[in-house]
Structure 1
Amino acid sequence: MCCPSATFAVWSSAWLHGAAASDDVLDALLSWGEAHDVVAADPAAADAFELPLAFNRAATPVQLLVALRAQSATNLQLVLPVPGDVRGLGGGGPFTESALRSGEAAVLPELGFGVVPQAIAEGLMRWTVFSLTNRTQPEYRGLAEAEHGLTDAIRASAGALQTLDVASDRRGVRAELSARLRSAPDVQWPAGTPGRSLRVLQRAEEITAILAIAQTDDPGGALSASATVRRAEALRPLSDAVRDARCAAVNEAVRVFADQADRTP
């Protein structure tokens, strides 16, 4: 599943490099809402992408795709910021604040812009284009490194949670996990998406469901306030590793589509 920004980054990259049609991009976005519109947050973004400013009549995703091609966009990077970790957002300002509220964004580091999705009504997703305060290249994290980090975090968190006796005897946990995974949006990826990226995204999705169960109000034996704090501390490295793995998987897919296009005669 991952998130709307991941869908946008991978499918837009596939389209920009000739591996998908524009209709494919639009169809993929439907997983996140029946309707999508696009606005600019500031005059610089409005001018560069020929988009209306917020609170005016919004543009369509097609106009955003056309603007990306006109701007020769090649490198859309997924960022999943949380308080205390705003890597890749290019400093403070409105973009950073919006990305933190949303928990995600797609960054165009070479162009100095970022795009943040937000569900503003039932079935309606709004994409807002921001100018970056500073053009900062997101920190590169190789997919193999991120996958290994995820494995290490799983082992460390499992040991800590076992010590805390979190959800060790929770009834129906397998059924709850299956239900959470089934309820996730059915997100499709372009043909040519690296298999390893897909495997890492699937693994991250499964771990996210496990984390959600571990963080519910019925945490097995960890009922005291101190145990709840220790549980959160035990889970934090795993949550961070999941974010890193998702970003690395998506950004690797973007890189592969760009490389394939460069090798095409």
Structure 2
Amino acid sequence: MDMRAEVWSPLQHTAVWLGAWLHGHETTDDLLQALRDLGGRHELIDGRPLTDLLAQLRSVADVEGEDPVLRLVLSGPGEAPALPAGSDAAQKAARNGVGAITVKDNDLISSHVLVPDLAGPLTRWEWFTFTDPLPASAWLSPGEADRLLAEATRQAADIIERSGYRTDALNTPRLTVGALSDFYDTPGLPSAVPGRAAKLFARADRVAAIVETVTARIGDHTLDPQLLSLWRHIRAARMAGVAYAVADFGRAI
């Protein structure tokens, strides 16, 4: 199992950059550079260039509404993506290991789902449109998501401590965790990202780095039941942070 794929989300940064661009906080040039840093070369699944996807996104996105125009959709073991059940979009978002981005249409009837397929240095996007409402999201505030993630982390730590688990490798994990935290934050977020969302992303990154340090870098899987229970809260934090950031971009216009 690819641990990093379960705890890191390059699509989180992609969704935030797209939201900042749609609301006029980032230039197209800066957006394109960020997307290259995140996923190499981008194109639509039919071979059309990324600029066609951006033009289509600009034409349909409801940037005037109160709800966030973009949302991040993540899934993992035991948790299906919040997309129409059985749809191609849901199946592909569950298989690709990175999730999907939903887009609220300005016609107030349609919704769109962008599903990336990462193939080495190439990211290929598939665009799906739905006229029925998409499944409701968790609607967590940044504060609620942060609290749940912090509580889950404390509970996992308590369970590990009560188990009497000891290893020399965990005595000095700070350098490894710090390096991984830096990795998760690359290539950075738009300058307009609100502080509450940035804090939530930072906590999710740090918990993700700890999980990866213990399970993948140290190579000890005896703690998997305790650590893997954090995955769901890491995903929830990332989705809540994206929704809050994108909504804030609209309020800041």
TM-score bucket of the superposed structures, by smaller chain: 0.7 to 0.9
1:226-245, aligned counterparts within 5 Å? 228=222, 231-245=223-237
Within-5 A mapping of 1:20-39: 20-39=26-45
Q: Show CA shifts across 1:76-98 (max 9, x none).
A: 10011113222521222211111
Q: CA deviation at 1:134?
A: 4.7
C-alpha offsets along residues 113-171 of structure 1, whole Å, 9 cap, x if unaligned?
A: 211222213x2121222234853242311111001101111110101112234454325
Out of 97, 105, 108, which is 2:103 matched to? 108
The secondary structure found in structure 2 opposite 1:107 is strand
Q: Deviations over 1:202-261 (max 9, x none)?
A: 1211110110122238556x7xxxxx3xx3321233221111111111110011012223
Q: Given that residues 18 and 31 in structure 2 are in contact (C-alpha distance below 8 angstroms), is that contact kept between their aligned partners in structure 1?
A: yes
The one-letter amino acid paired with 2:74 is L
Choose 138-147 or 173-182, whichever is displaced more.
Answer: 173-182
In the TM superposition, 1:59-74 aligns within 5 A as 59-74=48-63
Name the SS of the counterpart of 2:169 in structure 1.
Answer: coil
* Stretch moving more, 168-177 or 17-26: 168-177
Question: 2:85 matched to 1:91?
Answer: yes
Q: Is the 8 A contact 1:166 1:219 kept in 2?
A: no
In the other structure, the counterpart of 1:213 is 213
Q: Alignment partner for residue 11 of structure 1, among 5, 12, 17?
A: 17
**2: CA distance between counterparts of 1:81 and 1:134?**
21
Q: Distance in 1 between the 2:37 and 2:185 partners?
A: 6
Q: What secondary structure sits across from 1:36 in the alignment?
A: strand
Cα pair 1:5 1:116 within 8 Å, conserved: no
Bigger radius of gyration among the two: 1
Q: Give the structure 1 partner of residue 247 of structure 2.
A: 255
Give the paired residue count.
Answer: 235
Q: Is the 8 A contact 1:105 1:114 kept in 2?
A: yes
Separation in 1, partners of 2:123, 2:205: 22
Correspondence for 2:189: 189
When the two chains are superposed, the root-mean-square deviation of aligned CA atoms in Å is: 2.4
Which ranges of structure 1 fall in alignment gaps of 5 or more residues? 40-51, 53-57, 223-227
Change (3 A) 1:71 1:167: farther
With structure 2 as the length reference, what TM-score do the two structures score?
A: 0.83
Distance in 2 separating the partners of 1:118 and 1:185: 21
Quote the sequence identity (%). Answer: 29
Please, what TM-score do these two structures have when normalized by structure 1?
0.79
Asked if the contact 1:91/1:133 (under 8 Å) is kept, the reply is: no
Distance (Å, rounded) in 2 between the aligned partners of 1:142 and 1:184: 22
CA distance in 2, matches of 1:87, 1:178: 30
SS at match of 2:178: helix
CA offset digits 1:33-69 (Å, max 9, x no partner): 3311112xxxxxxxxxxxx4xxxxx122221111111
5+ unaligned residues in a row in structure 2: which ranges? Answer: 1-6, 64-68
Could you say if the C-alpha distance between residues 182 and 19 of structure 1 is closer, same or farther in structure 2, counting changes exceeding 3 Å?
A: closer
Instruction: Report if aligned partners of 1:166, 1:214 keep a CA contact under 8 Å in 2.
Output: no
Q: Which amino acid aligns with 1:68?
A: L
